[in-house]
Each structure stands twice: as structure tokens, then as C-alpha cells.
């Protein structure tokens, strides 16, 4: 079969479309014929060596939709979450590293990780859901407990997780404020339902603008940036607010403990999600909800797809079309 493989570190240019053996399923596994797969920043980080436990050569890819036993299925990328729904155990892994992932014509996964695909979604849309949808759902619903009437801040709108977080928060009845360095992305977010947007590149005091837009009553912030962005988000929260953190692309944050203890904030970390989270997340798409697909590439053009994601040009998910 054909597979997009990483044999050496050094960025997306090191990816190669290779011919490899078909995967073999263990006793508790099945082999899914992949129709479409989606990229995540995790995949780009792996090509650059910015991820723990890298084993090469490897077929990357966590997200996939395909065929199994005559039905269309979507794959939960979280392998071996464990028995406690609050957090994954130390043996949990994510599809695509260290085990081979979905950027191939076939992939072997545990049978428990295969779910029926929402019927109204195209293959490209369904492929956009798994990792981003699971992360966003857990941040907004499981950990964030976003409720109707609350005001939510989503920092750095444009990626797959935050665009889905926007959809889930609006579905819950929240008012949503988003930030971005791109006016075009802010406009796209408004078209998806965002109530207000702030450009942190052109507005040096964006946090003051957010505070004004929130009327001084920001209930929840969902952040994957870390750094100064996280520090500002903590300062913006109302008493009793919740700050959900699922990434740290800006690096270490210098925070004021005063902002946390004086306002009785809940600062909650999250990563991926449990099988129950995945099943509940898929149910959110039963009423016609659709993820945002940015651009679709053929598997042979995988390097170009990685480069688009690496340059942060996308709004929504970048997709690889694997087979018809």
C-alpha cells in the first residue's frame, strides 16, 4: 500500500510517499481502509523532532475516516486511555506516533476505537473531527462546563481545535470572543458565530479590548498558546472563572498567582479525551453541525499540506485525500 512516511527528522521536507506492507491486525484490532485523513500540528512538530518518544521510520496521522466491514467509520485517535475518565494513564498513546497512523491506504487500530461516521458529513469533514473534535469537546464541555449565557474567550482562532471549540461553545448557548493576528480569520470566525473578535497584532492592548467586550465578566477562557497570552487570560477572568489549557505554543508563562487565588479561579489542563468523550462529541454532529475544512490535498502532495499547516495559513482543518 501507499503511505506517507517520515524516515528522518528535519521538517516536512523529509516526508516520502512509500510502498509498504499492509498492516496486520492484532487479536483486538481491525484494519480500516482509509478514505481521508487530517493533519494536526502534532504531525508537524514530530517532523521537526519537537515531540517526545519519536520512533522512525513511521507513518504519521492521527485522524481518519474510512471503510470497515461495509460501513463508513471514523477513528478515535486516543489509544489506551485507561479506566479513569478524568485523565489518561501513563501507557496511553496517540495514533500516528509511536504506532503507524492514518496517512496510508490502510491502518490497524483497536476495534474499540472505531465508531460509525455521522452520515451527513463528507469524508473530508469526518476526517476533520477526531483529534481536534475530541480536544475541543473536552476543553469546552467536560473540563470547561460551558453553559448558556456565559462569555467565553478563545485565543488564537483559526486552527482545527479552536474552530471546533467555537462551534461547541455556540451550540451550548455561550457568547464567544475570539482573538487572532489575522483580520481575515476573525471575519471567518464571525461567520461561524463568534460574537466579537480582536486582532492582537494590530491592537497592542488586546486584553483591554477583550475586557471591554466582555463587560468585565469573562466566565471561561480556552487557550493553547501559553506565554503572555495565558498570563493575560488569567488576569481577565471574573471571580470564580475557569481557564482551560490544552497547549503551549508560546512557551512558558509568567503568571501572577494573585490573579488565581484572589479570584478563586479554576485552572484546568486537558489533553485528548476519554472514549466516553469521543462518543459524546460525535453526538454533537447529529443535528447537522459541520467542522470547518480549510483545504484538501492528495496524499502524494502531503509535503505541501504540511507546509500550509506549518505556515499557519489555514482556517479549519487541512485534509489528505487518501482513496476514493
Fold of the CATH domain 2-129+285-321: Quinone Oxidoreductase; Chain A, domain 1 (3.90.180)
Sorting pLDDT into bands at 50, 70 and 90, what band is 226?
Answer: very high
Say whether pLDDT at 105 is over 80. Answer: yes
Query: Considering only CA atoms, which of 47, 105, 51, 43 is closest in space to residue 77?
Result: 43
Sorting pLDDT into bands at 50, 70 and 90, what band is 240?
Answer: very high
For the chain, the structural domain boundaries read 2-129+285-321, 134-269
DSSP codes, 39-77: --HHHHHHHTT-STT--SSEE--SEEEEEETTEEEEE--
**Domain at 134-269: CATH code:** 3.90.180.10
Give the pLDDT confidence score for residue 324 in this predicted structure. 72
Give the pLDDT confidence score for residue 313 in this predicted structure. 86
Whole-number Cα distances in Å, 76 to 18, 81, 193: 25, 11, 27
Encode pLDDT of 51-88 as tens digits: 999 999 999 999 999 999 999 999 999 999 999 999 99
Encode pLDDT of 2-21 as tens digits: 999 999 999 999 999 999 99
**Angle 74-79-81 from CA coordinates, rounded to 5°:** 115
The reply to whether domains 2-129+285-321 and 134-269 share a CATH topology is yes
Sorting pLDDT into bands at 50, 70 and 90, what band is 130?
Answer: very high
Mean pLDDT of the chain: 96
Encode pLDDT of 250-271 as tens digits: 989 999 999 999 999 999 999 9
DSSP 300: G
* Distance in angstroms (rounded) separating the CA atoms of residues 54 and 218: 39
Mean per-residue pLDDT, 199-204: 97
DSSP 312: T
Encode pLDDT of 310-324 as tens digits: 998 899 999 999 997
Q: Which DSSP helix (H) or strand (E) runs through 321?
A: strand 317-321
Amino acid at each position: 500500500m501507499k503511505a506517507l512516511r517520515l524516515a528522518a527528522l528535519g521538517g516536512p521536507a523529509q516526508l516520502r510517499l512509500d510502498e509498504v506492507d499492509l498492516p496486520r491486525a492484532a487479536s483486538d484490532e481491525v484494519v480500516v481502509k482509509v478514505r481521508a485523513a487530517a493533519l494536526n500540528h502534532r504531525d508537524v512538530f514530530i517532523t521537526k523532532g519537537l515531540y517526545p518518544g519519536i520512533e522512525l521510520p513511521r507513518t504519521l496521522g492521527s485522524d481518519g475516516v474510512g471503510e470497515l466491514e461495509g460501513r463508513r467509520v471514523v477513528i478515535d485517535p486516543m489509544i489506551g486511555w485507561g479506566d479513569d475518565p478524568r485523565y489518561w494513564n501513563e501507557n496511553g498513546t496517540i495514533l500516528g506516533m509511536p504506532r503507524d497512523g492514518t496517512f496510508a491506504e490502510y491502518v490497524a487500530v483497536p476495534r474499540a476505537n472505531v465508531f460509525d461516521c455521522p452520515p451527513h458529513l463528507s469524508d473530508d469533514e469526518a476526517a476533520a473531527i477526531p483529534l481536534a473534535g475530541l480536544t475541543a469537546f473536552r476543553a469546552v464541555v467536560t473540563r470547561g462546563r460551558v453553559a448558556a449565557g456565559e462569555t467565553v474567550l478563545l485565543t488564537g482562532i483559526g486552527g482545527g481545535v479552536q474552530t471546533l471549540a467555537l462551534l461547541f461553545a455556540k451550540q451550548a448557548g455561550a457568547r464567544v470572543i475570539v482573538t487572532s493576528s489575522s483580520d481575515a480569520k476573525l471575519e471567518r470566525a464571525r461567520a461561524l458565530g463568534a460574537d466579537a473578535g480582536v486582532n492582537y497584532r494590530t491592537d497592542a492592548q488586546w486584553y483591554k479590548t477583550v475586557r471591554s467586550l466582555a463587560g468585565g465578566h469573562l466566565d471561561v477562557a480556552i487557550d493553547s498558546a501559553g506565554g503572555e497570552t495565558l498570563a493575560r487570560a488569567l488576569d481577565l477572568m471574573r471571580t470564580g472563572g475557569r481557564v482551560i489549557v490544552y497547549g503551549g505554543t508560546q512557551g512558558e508563562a509568567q503568571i501572577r498567582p494573585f490573579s488565581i487565588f484572589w479570584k478563586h479561579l479554576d485552572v484546568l489542563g486537558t489533553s485528548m479525551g476519554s472514549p466516553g468523550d469521543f462518543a459524546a462529541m460525535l453526538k454533537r454532529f447529529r443535528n447537522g453541525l459541520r467542522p470547518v475544512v480549510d483545504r484538501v490535498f492528495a496524499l502524494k502532495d502531503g509535503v505541501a499540506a504540511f507546509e500550509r499547516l506549518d505556515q499557519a495559513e489555514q482556517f479549519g482543518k487541512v485534509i489528505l485525500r487518501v482513496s476514493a
